[in-house]
C-alpha cells in the first residue's frame, strides 16, 4: 500500500482530535500535507487553535495548520458546544499551542496543494461542515478533477439525524456546501452516523486508551470521557459514538468498513429536513451513484487499531 497524501479539513472537536492523532501516528499509510480548520463544532478561532493544540500534543509541530472559512456559505453558523464544551476540546487540560497559524487562507492552501501535486494523488478528509472544500471548488474548479478521493464524516440514512430529526450536524451546518461537494463528481466515501453510531466508546475501550499511560493516551481517554456524559444520556447506549476517526481509520484499514456505491443528494430547500442526506440505499431511483456510503464497521477492529496506533505517539 502506498502512502496517501491527505489534507485534513476539521472543526476540532474531541473526535476530530482523535482522527488527527490517528493520522499523525500512521506514517506508513498517511502523509498529512496540512490541516485546514473550519467553523463548526465551535467558532473558527477555537477550531484553528484546537488543531494546533492537537498537533503539539502529537509532537508534530511541522504540520502546517491553516484557518479557513469562519461561516457557512449562505447561512449563519450553528455550533455544538452542548456536545463538545465551551472550547470544543473540553476534557483534558492541554496547554495553549506554541506553534503559530500558517500564513494564508485554508481554502487557498487546498487549491495550491491540489494544483502543485500530481493529479489523483491528494485525498481530502473533511471532518466538519464542507464549507472550505466547497469554497475551494467554487474558486478553482480546475482542482476538482485532481482530487484522488474525498473521505468524509457526515450524513446518515438509517440513523437519520443528530442535530435535527432529519439531519446530521456537519451536513446541516452548511447544506449548500455539501450539495456542491456531492455534486462535484470526485470519488467520495462517506462515514455516516450509520457507521459511527456503531463505533461506541465503551468503558473497556476508554480504559484501554487510559492504560496506554502516555500523554496522548490519557488525553484521548479524557476527551472521550467528556462527550460520553452527553451522548450516553441522549442515546441510552453503552458508550458515545466516536465519529471522525472512522475517516482516518478507513485510509489505514478500509477492510474494517462495508457500504454501497449509491446516489446521495443533499436537501437544501426544506425547513423541516434541511441538510438531510437523501441516500438511495435501496437503489429505488435511476440517479447515478456518486458516493460510497458506508453502513457497517468492525467496531472492535477499529478500536484495536486506534489503541495500537495512539500508543506510538
Ligand atoms: Ca468534526
What distance in Å separates the CA atoms of residue 231 and residue 205, rounded to the nearest whole number? Answer: 16
Contact 206, 239 (CB under 8 A): yes
Contact 239, 202 (CB under 8 A): yes
- Residues, Cβ < 5 Å to ion ligand 1: 11, 13, 16, 127-128, 244
Q: Are strands 257-262 and 30-37 parallel, antiparallel or unpaired?
A: unpaired
Question: How much of the chain is in helix, strand and coil states, percent to nearest 5?
Answer: 40, 20, 40
What distance in Å separates the CA atoms of residue 250 and residue 121, rounded to the nearest whole number? Answer: 17
Instruction: For the chain, give the longest Cα–Cα distance.
Output: 53
**DSSP secondary structure string, 68-88?**
--SS-SSS-----HHHH-SSS
| Ligand 1 centroid distance, CA of 12 (Å) | 6
| Ligand 1 centroid distance, CA of 40 (Å) | 7
Radius of gyration of the chain (CA): 18
| Ligand 1 centroid distance, CA of 285 (Å) | 31
Quick one: pLDDT at residue 229?
A: 72
**DSSP secondary structure string, 9-40?**
EE---HHHHHHHHHHHT-TTTEEEEEEEE-SS
Kindly give the confidence (pLDDT) of every residue in the chain, 313 residues in length, as a single tens digit, with 9 standing for 90 and above: 689 999 999 999 999 999 999 999 999 999 999 999 999 999 999 999 999 999 999 999 999 999 999 999 999 999 999 999 999 999 999 999 999 999 999 999 999 999 999 999 999 999 999 999 999 999 999 999 999 999 999 999 999 999 999 999 999 999 999 999 999 999 999 999 999 999 999 999 999 999 999 999 999 999 999 877 777 777 777 889 999 999 999 999 999 999 999 999 999 999 999 999 999 999 999 999 999 999 999 999 999 999 999 999 9
| Ligand 1 centroid distance, CA of 9 (Å) | 9
Catalytic residues: 243
**DSSP secondary structure string, 178-222?**
HHHHHTS-S-EEEE-HHHHTTSEE-HHHHHHHHHT-SHHHHHHHH
| Ligand 1 centroid distance, CA of 169 (Å) | 9
Quick one: pLDDT at residue 1?
A: 63
Residue 123: is it exposed, middle or buried by C-beta count within 10 angstroms (0-12/13-18/19+)? buried
Quick one: pLDDT at residue 302?
A: 98
Amino acid at each position: 500500500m502506498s502512502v496517501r497524501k491527505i489534507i485534513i479539513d476539521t472543526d476540532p472537536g474531541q473526535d476530530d482530535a482523535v482522527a488527527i492523532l490517528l493520522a499523525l501516528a500512521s506514517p506508513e499509510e498517511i502523509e498529512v500535507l496540512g490541516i485546514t480548520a473550519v467553523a463548526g463544532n465551535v467558532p473558527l478561532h477555537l477550531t484553528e487553535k484546537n488543531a494546533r493544540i492537537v498537533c503539539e500534543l502529537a509532537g508534530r509541530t511541522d504540520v502546517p495548520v491553516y484557518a479557513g472559512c469562519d461561516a457557512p456559505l449562505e447561512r449563519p453558523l450553528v455550533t455544538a458546544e452542548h456536545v463538545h464544551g465551551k472550547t470544543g476540546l473540553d476534557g483534558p487540560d492541554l496547554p495553549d499551542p506554541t506553534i503559530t497559524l500558517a500564513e494564508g487562507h485554508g481554502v487557498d492552501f487546498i487549491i495550491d496543494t491540489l494544483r502543485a501535486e500530481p493529479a489523483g494523488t491528494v485525498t481530502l478528509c473533511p471532518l466538519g461542515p464542507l464549507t472550505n472544500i466547497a469554497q475551494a471548488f467554487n474558486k478553482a474548479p480546475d482542482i476538482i478533477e485532481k482530487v484522488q478521493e474525498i473521505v468524509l464524516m457526515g450524513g446518515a440514512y438509517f440513523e437519520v439525524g443528530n442535530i435535527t430529526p432529519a439531519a446530521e450536524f456537519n451536513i446541516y451546518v452548511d447544506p449548500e456546501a455539501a450539495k456542491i461537494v456531492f455534486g462535484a463528481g470526485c470519488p467520495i466515501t462517506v462515514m455516516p452516523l450509520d457507521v459511527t453510531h456503531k463505533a461506541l466508546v465503551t468503558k473497556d475501550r476508554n480504559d484501554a486508551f487510559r492504560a496506554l499511560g502516555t500523554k496522548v493516551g490519557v488525553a484521548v481517554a479524557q476527551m472521550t470521557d467528556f462527550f460520553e456524559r452527553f451522548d450516553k444520556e441522549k442515546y441510552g447506549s453503552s458508550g458515545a459514538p466516536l465519529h471522525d476517526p472512522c475517516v482516518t481509520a478507513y485510509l489505514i484499514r478500509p477492510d474494517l468498513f462495508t457500504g454501497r456505491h449509491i446516489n446521495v443528494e443533499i436537501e437544501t430547500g426544506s425547513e423541516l429536513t434541511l441538510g438531510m442526506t437523501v441516500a438511495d440505499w435501496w437503489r429505488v431511483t435511476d440517479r447515478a451513484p456518486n458516493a460510497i456510503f458506508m453502513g457497517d464497521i468492525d467496531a472492535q477492529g477499529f478500536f484495536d487499531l486506534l489503541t495500537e496506533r495512539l500508543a506510538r505517539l
